[in-house]
Amino acid sequence: MTENPYNSPNSDVESDNKSHRPGSIWKGVLFGGLADIGGTMVISTIIAIIYLMQIWSPDMTPEKIEEVMNLYGEDSSNFNNIWSFIGLGFGLGFSVLGGYVCAIFARERWKKAALILAAILSGYGLYIGIEIYQLGVILALTLLSVMATYFGSWLRAGKRY
């Protein structure tokens, strides 16, 4: 504000370029789900390739490669080796990322979007995992996934305030 009494009062107003729209829940759910599922699929493929490269030999037949990949599937679903814990860690990490991305698009409605995303991903995880894991294990993994998704959204929401 100017101190000159002969000028009209004026002040510097900060321009607020942030949109005051509440955000899109469905965009958040869509892009958060893509981040979670897409990232998990990509990292799972990379881990499978690393697993195969450890056992690789030049004289492997296609049948032997298929057998090794089946062994990887068994190893990654049993929690008695490092491969299952690596997959679990990356999977939960991408659930956190999916929740974070969801909250970016949902803005003020991040809680509702995160819960919708967690419910959809939980249903997908139950559908995929029910044939692989026992009921108690799949429910525990589902609960961990829900918590990771909500945690990622909560992390993003905290950056706005």
Please determine, for residue 115, whether its predicted confidence score (pLDDT) is greater than 50: yes
Task: Using pLDDT thresholds of 50, 70 and 90, give the confidence band for residue 161.
Answer: very low
The pLDDT tens digits of the residues spanning 29-80 come to 999 999 999 999 999 999 988 988 888 888 888 888 888 888 888 888 888 8
| 3-state SS string for the chain | CCCCCCCCCCCCCCCCCCCCCCCCHHHHHHHHHHHHHHHHHHHHHHHHHHHHHHHCCCCCCHHHHHHHHHHHHHHHHCCCCHHHHHHHHHHHHHHHHHHHHHHHHHHHHHHHHHHHHHHHHHHHHHHHHCCCCCHHHHHHHHHHHHHHHHHHHHHHHHCCC
Token pair 């296609």 in the structure block, residue: 62
Tokens of 43: 């990292």
Confidence band for 19, pLDDT divided at 50, 70 and 90: low
Per residue in 91-114, pLDDT tens?
Answer: 999 999 999 999 999 988 899 999
pLDDT band, residue 120 (cuts 50/70/90):
very high
The per-residue pLDDT of the chain, averaged, comes to 87
* 63 vs 148, more confident: 148
CB 104 within 8 A of CB 24: no
